[in-house]
Chain A
Amino acid sequence: MEPQGTVRYSITQREAAMSDSDTPMQIENHLDVTILGELQSLLEDDFPDLIETFLTDARVRVRELVRTVNSGVPEDIRQSAHSFKGSTLNVGAKQLSDLCRELEDLARSGRTQGSRGLVDRIEIELDQVESLMRRSYL
């Protein structure tokens, strides 16, 4: 399962680089469709519930990120970014989790410069993820 997913991922990336206007390519740029496919077959009727739960929770987490970035304590930023990263990984929101990791790494190094920009990008990415998920999975 895992190796196949990895292979698919690398091909997808290359394809995505060649064309970023194509809709299926655009989805795979933001979401790991293999993971989502597995979740769909695992949760069956409860799958839409999971997506709704994730999206609602994600909004709460982003507000928390904004709050910690405003307060400017690197350790708080790191923790909330880390936490959010975990749940985004689980639903295959790979672009979102990459951004969370970037913010987490930045905060771990003790810096706050650039964190606001990252949170802005996280908010935009979440909007993307939400619309892609609603379009394709709900």
Chain B
Amino acid sequence: MTTNPAAQPPVQGLRILIADDNQSDRMILQAIVRREGHEVLLATDGREAVELFKQHAPDIVLMDALMPVMNGLEASRAIKTLADSDLVPIIFLTSLQDAESLAECLDSGGDDFMSKPYNRVILKAKINAFSRMRAMHAQLQRHNRQMLLEQQVAKTVFDNVAHSGCLNLSNIQHSLSPMAVFNGDTVLAERKPDGGMLLFLGDFTGHGLPAAIGAMPLAEIFYGMTSKGFSMEEVLREVNSKLRKILPVGVFCCGAMVELNFHNKSARIWVGGVPDVYLLREQSGKVERFASAHLPLGVLDPHEFDPHSQDVVMHNGDRVFLWSDGIVESRNSANEMFGEDRLNQVFENTDNPDRIFKAILDQVDRFMGGSDRDDDITLVTAKMVDIEQIGMTTYESNKGSVGGPVNWTMTLALHDQSLAAFNPLPLVMNLLMEVEGLRPLGGQLYTLLAELFSNALEHGVLELDSSLKTGPQGFGQYYLEREQALAALSDGCVRLTLTHRPLPVGGELILEVTDTGAGFSYASYASEEPTAGATSETAPTADSAAHAKVQWDYSGRGISLIQQLSDELTYLDDGRSVRAVVRWPRN
């Protein structure tokens, strides 16, 4: 864009509307304007001016203030309304002298004055100046339209990447403006293959495309890894290192991630740079706060990043609340912030916990004077429920191959260092999902594998006492000890052997998991579940829905769940080895 007006070529060929009730004045103006090479439209009163404006859309209007029928003030208001977002400069022709009358002309939409007697040089300069302003305005509008178009495309791509995950589940409520991604705000939720759920709320630095651009890889990683069964720590690590790698220094993502486990009723909470995550206890109505303990995502190098979460036991009806600073920092007309105190009052004053979500939005809206800004509030809350209420996960698999490998065996032995640093489940699941007949069973197979593997690792190799998990404190304690034991591990091994073979109808998968631990007395666990024999080769009893009804024995080894997921379950070698058989199709 040229900024030096002197460098502009003379403006010509505009269409200029002249509205004046005096014929000799009209003649003079017309002559001046024509002499400058513009086209002239003539109106003798305000109404005619508005009509001519509608028909011919002139570029600039020269308007007498006092005219019969409709005066210039009224006409200019009408023309400005018709012009909408186009800039149509109106120059008032006036011999008015008093400041008040002149101000009234500008208030009614006039852009400038021209006093009588008309001066040709001044009028020419004014027309040129407004013509430049019009050109700039048009260019701005083109840029703006272009930007909106680009945002729309970016938004479509983002929506395809981010879709809505499982945000529409009955135990989740969220508020996110449709264009929030351009404010840097993101809310994501996805089921894990074992039925659990990962919840993420993020707030990127800045606004517009720069703020939105990091949200796409973040969503891609979040959905991809969560649905494949990676743990929250692994998802966080990957998100952090990806953002660190692709975003410029100074652009990062404040966020909170929560993993809900509906089987053992627990949550893991990670907060980096957003306000406290709230955990509302339904029974007591009390709120527990989880403060930000980490730098935002994308700041630290991968080796410095800390994905450790705070672990907590939940009960049905307990809720977590995640938000960006938008709520607390909402401002009213007096520029006061909504603040934490008002937020806490919403929790104190709302008896029905189901209504708190809406109460927060209402209160912020009311505080801001009902200016309809709650569209900009980013908030997500999720409730702990029994898994039946939200159903099991359908394992996401985009594998297209028909049939796949039919008869094969794979053994994967993980030794001490690998056990501390590597999660084999996604890799193994990836292979299992190559088998066409196993794809519908993805969620169950994942849960089965996860249970068998963690039993072998935690109770076998690490020799952790499962009774530690009893009670709210014990749960966190358990994970702490697990971490310490893993870090100190110097020998030990978990061996996974998977065999698949075809049957006359369908096929059969045999999972064998062996550890180097001390073994355990499986008979005592088997007695907990008298209806299904843990040691005998029984006929298939569990149907696909039954596992959801299993009461999770979280103090133990989840054996009753394992039994329901498999057609046969056998413990060997004093409990150091377990063999589970799954046949498909399951009926």
Contacts and interface: CB of A to CB of B under 8 A. Distances in A.
A85 B95 contact: yes
A91 interface: yes
Contacts of B66: 79, 82-83
A87 B284 CA distance: 84
Interface centre among A2, A32, A91 (most CB of B within 10 A): A91
A53 B27 CA distance: 9
A39 interface: yes
A1 B121 contact: yes
Contacts of B32: 42
Contacts of A85: 95
B31 A92 contact: no
Nearest to B67: A83
Contacts of B28: 39, 42-43, 50, 90-91
Given A82-B95, A86-B94, 7 more contacts: A1-B119, A57-B22, A79-B66, A82-B66, A90-B25, A90-B28, A91-B24
Contact of A87 (B22, B35, B121): B22
Interface string B118-133: 1111000000000000
Contacts of A38: 120
26 contacts: A1-B121, A35-B117, A39-B28, A42-B28, A42-B32, A43-B28, A43-B31, A49-B27, A50-B28, A53-B24, A53-B27, A54-B24, A79-B66, A83-B21, A83-B66, A86-B25, A86-B64, A86-B94, A86-B116, A87-B22, A87-B24, A87-B116, A89-B116, A91-B24, A91-B28, A92-B117
A121 to B, nearest CB: 20
A46 interface: yes
A83 B22 contact: yes
A34 to B, nearest CB: 10
A32 B96 CA distance: 20
Contacts of B116: 86-87, 89-90
B333 interface: no
A7 B135 CA distance: 38
Nearest to A43: B31
B561 to A, nearest CB: 93
Contacts of B64: 86
A90 B117 contact: yes
Nearest to B23: A53
Nearest to B101: A82
Contacts of B117: 32, 35, 89-92
Contacts of A89: 95, 116-117
A87 B94 CA distance: 10
Contact of A42 (B21, B22, B23, B35): B35
Contacts of A90: 24-25, 28, 116-118
A42 B25 contact: no
B31 A46 contact: yes
Interface centre among A49, A53, A57 (most CB of B within 10 A): A53
A90 B32 CA distance: 12
Interface in A40-59: 42-43, 46, 49-50, 53-54, 57
A74 to B, nearest CB: 16
Interface in A58-89: 79, 82-83, 85-87, 89
Interface string B1-40: 0000000000000000000011111011001100100000
